[in-house]
């Protein structure tokens, strides 16, 4: 399907063929009658689920809630096998959707976008790809995902390492044989926490290089029985309504009381119950865990207590226990046997906050204290999150201003959907919207519906050039900051805040006011004739170059 030197003239150019790009394609093409070309860097569709194929990769949102909702037939025919789907199963689902709705014919794979340039005279976006593919469209939709620009930390001497170097977010498509090898894993975020327990039993030695310990609670994966699946399908309409109207997009009931509303015994019992069932939803055990230090401390202490129970060596348990930020201020993790993995004889934890990594040699990875002989090094170091994939290509808007220039101090958006000076360019589930703070599938579908409706409305009104005004953008950025300011999110060096990349502007990027409030705001803006957007007719054809 990959094509070179091909040009596509369409209504809408979509960048990225993950969940968002495919949903955008289907909606605009099949429901709104527009022509669409999707440009995808990977060799196949799937986005984050195409790239992140490391052992143990799976979603930590219930499969039923991490599915498209546009087709009852799709719901009927697709059967998730587990409560939380594995990466291969999610990729099978994406492939099924792509085939079922004949999406691949409008996707060009192997086409990494290099530039996108707004032509003010003709009101079009011109897009070029590294492989020579070009596309021209009246609208540009960036469906590139918040977690797709891979972060590869520089370690001195890494080029001398003669073993295998892998990254969880760019895992080879062919099987990787780790059996009997000495493997080092750098990073203990969600990816590290999934890959570590999965590979520990098969490798000879596993050395985990931890800079910041994570808070992790048991995932409680389970295979779904036929009866459970049937019950889930029956409850779908109700469940989806709940997701759409929830602040998180998760099917976890929001507890309507604070942690200190319960006495110690009741709170302990409540946490215990949540620990044994909630998975990712543990963060919603009380409604003030992300706004009150005192409340948060009860949850943080509870989790640290559990780590101490799960790890037999108390000194090791302490090393694995986070103390430098509140629970939930960084994206919380869920695990299957993560902490217990450190009870194994063949697993070593290296605290690289105490003794930083210094260099790699042909056969070792070294810290300030010691050298570790390794055959394989796995980077589980995450992403240049939220803005990385948007700032990688050169996107040039009105008056030759690039997105890199406009966002030099951090992402500026109106509703997370558009940015002033970049007419007809939309971002799906990116900075300025709830995106990573909730179930991203719910966010994606909300954006896809909203953007599609706007395009249809604009076309019908004869005003197909749309742009966020500077005032609306300024006001929205203030709203995003105001929503985050009273939360404990501000107290961790997280990727929400741009702290994962040195030199990245430290601004809180997602909208923390909740999905429900955000959806209402977007709907209100639409009802008020797209308040905050400037809309104008397309330039007359005599302006177009000969």
Could you list the residues that contact ligand NAP (CB under 6 A)? 58-60, 147, 153, 168, 186-192, 194, 211-212, 331, 352, 380-383, 436, 495, 500
- Closer of 54 and 422 to ligand NAP (Cβ): 54
Least distance from ligand NAP to the Cβ atom of residue 60, Å? 4
Least distance from ligand NAP to the Cβ atom of residue 127, Å? 27
- Closer of 245 and 324 to ligand NAP (Cβ): 324
Q: How far, rounded to the nearest angstrom, does the alpha carbon of residue 285 sit from its chain's CA centroid?
A: 23
- Closer of 61 and 97 to ligand NAP (Cβ): 61
Least distance from ligand NAP to the Cβ atom of residue 486, Å? 22
| H helix intervals, 282-341 | 293-310, 314-319, 338-341
- Whole-number Å distance between alpha carbons of 501 and 495: 8
- Closer of 44 and 335 to ligand NAP (Cβ): 335
- Closer of 61 and 143 to ligand NAP (Cβ): 61
- Closer of 211 and 516 to ligand NAP (Cβ): 211
Least distance from ligand NAP to the Cβ atom of residue 485, Å? 22
Please report which helix (H) or strand (E) contains residue 114, including its range.
strand 113-119
Tell me the CA distances in angstroms from 274 to 91, 255, 459, 504, one per residue in order. Answer: 30, 11, 49, 36
99 dihedral zone (left: phi>0; alpha: psi -120 to 50; beta): alpha
Least distance from ligand NAP to the Cβ atom of residue 534, Å? 34
- Closer of 321 and 381 to ligand NAP (Cβ): 381
Least distance from ligand NAP to the Cβ atom of residue 498, Å? 12
Least distance from ligand NAP to the Cβ atom of residue 296, Å? 18
Least distance from ligand NAP to the Cβ atom of residue 35, Å? 33
Q: Which residue in 179, 20, 188, 32 sits closest to 107, CA to CA?
A: 20
* Joined tokens for residue 402: 């690039």
- Whole-number Å distance between alpha carbons of 125 and 127: 6
* Joined tokens for residue 515: 């999905």
The sign one gets for the Cα dihedral 431, 388, 194, 80 is positive
Q: Is 184 helix (H, G, I), strand (E, B) or coil?
A: strand
Least distance from ligand NAP to the Cβ atom of residue 72, Å? 26
- Whole-number Å distance between alpha carbons of 103 and 437: 29
Q: Give the DSSP per-residue string, 18-66.
A: SHHHHHHHHIIIIIT---EEEE-SSSSS-THHHH---TT-B-SS-GGGS
* Joined tokens for residue 182: 């000495």
- Closer of 55 and 382 to ligand NAP (Cβ): 382
Least distance from ligand NAP to the Cβ atom of residue 150, Å? 9
Tell me the CA distances in angstroms from 150 to 232, 305, 501, one per residue in order. Answer: 35, 34, 11
Supply φ then ψ for residue 92, to 5 degrees. Answer: -60, -40
* Joined tokens for residue 184: 């080092």
- Whole-number Å distance between alpha carbons of 25 and 19: 10
- Whole-number Å distance between alpha carbons of 299 and 287: 12
Bridge partners of residue 90, in order along the sequence:
none
Bridge partners of residue 205, in order along the sequence:
182
Least distance from ligand NAP to the Cβ atom of residue 147, Å? 5
- Whole-number Å distance between alpha carbons of 23 and 68: 8
- Whole-number Å distance between alpha carbons of 21 and 370: 46
- Closer of 16 and 397 to ligand NAP (Cβ): 16
User: CB nearest ligand NAP: which residue?
Assistant: 189
């Amino acid at each position: 399907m990959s094509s070179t030197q091909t040009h596509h003239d369409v209504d809408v150019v979509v960048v990225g063929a993950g969940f968002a790009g495919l949903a955008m394609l289907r909606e605009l093409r099949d429901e709104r009658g527009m022509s669409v070309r999707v440009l995808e860097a990977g060799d196949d569709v799937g986005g984050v689920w195409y790239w992140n194929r490391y052992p143990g990769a799976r979603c930590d949102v219930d499969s039923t809630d991490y599915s498209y909702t546009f087709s009852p037939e799709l719901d009927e025919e697709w059967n998730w096998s587990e409560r939380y789907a594995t990466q291969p199963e999610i990729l099978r689902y994406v492939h099924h959707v792509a085939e079922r709705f004949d999406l691949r014919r409008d996707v060009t794979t192997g086409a990494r976008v290099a530039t996108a340039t707004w032509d003010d005279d003709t009101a079009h976006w011109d897009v070029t790809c590294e492989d020579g593919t070009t596309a021209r469209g009246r609208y540009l939709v960036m469906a590139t995902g918040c977690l797709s620009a891979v972060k590869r930390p520089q370690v001195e001497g890494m080029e001398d390492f003669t073993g295998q170097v892998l990254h969880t977010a760019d895992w080879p498509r062919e099987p990787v044989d780790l059996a009997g090898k000495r493997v080092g894993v750098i990073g203990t975020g969600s990816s590290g926490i999934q890959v570590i327990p999965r590979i520990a039993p098969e490798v000879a030695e596993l050395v985990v290089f931890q800079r910041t310990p994570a808070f992790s609670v048991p995932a409680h994966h389970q295979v779904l029985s036929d009866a459970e699946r049937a019950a889930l399908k029956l409850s779908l309409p109700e469940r989806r309504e709940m997701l759409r109207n929830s602040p998180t997009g998760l099917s976890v009931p929001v507890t309507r009381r604070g942690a200190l509303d319960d006495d110690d015994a009741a709170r302990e019992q409540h946490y215990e119950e949540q620990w044994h069932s909630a998975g990712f939803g543990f963060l919603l055990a009380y409604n003030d865990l992300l706004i009150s230090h005192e409340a948060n401390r009860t949850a943080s202490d509870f989790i640290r207590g559990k780590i101490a129970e799960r790890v037999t060596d108390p000194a090791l348990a302490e090393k694995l226990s986070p103390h430098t930020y509140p629970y939930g201020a960084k994206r919380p993790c869920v695990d299957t046997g993560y902490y217990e993995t450190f009870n194994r004889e063949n697993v070593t934890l290296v605290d690289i906050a105490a003794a930083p990594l210094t260099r790699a040699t042909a056969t070792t990875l070294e810290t300030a204290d010691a050298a570790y002989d390794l055959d394989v090094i796995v980077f589980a170091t995450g992403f240049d999150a939220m803005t990385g994939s948007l700032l990688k290509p050169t996107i040039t808007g009105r008056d030759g201003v690039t997105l890199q220039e406009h966002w030099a101090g951090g992402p500026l958006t109106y509703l997370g959907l558009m940015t002033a000076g970049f007419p007809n360019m939309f971002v799906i589930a990116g900075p300025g919207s709830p995106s990573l703070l909730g179930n991203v599938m719910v966010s994606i579908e909300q954006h896809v519906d909203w953007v599609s409706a706007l395009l249809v409305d604009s076309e019908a009104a004869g005003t197909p050039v749309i742009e966020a005004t500077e005032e609306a953008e300024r006001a929205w950025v203030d709203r995003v900051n105001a929503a985050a300011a009273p939360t404990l999110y501000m107290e961790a060096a997280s990727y929400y805040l741009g702290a994962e990349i040195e030199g990245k502007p430290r601004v809180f990027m997602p909208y923390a006011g909740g999905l429900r409030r955000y959806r209402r705001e977007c709907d209100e803006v639409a009802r008020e004739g797209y308040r905050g957007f400037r809309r104008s007719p397309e330039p007359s054809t005599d302006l177009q170059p000969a």
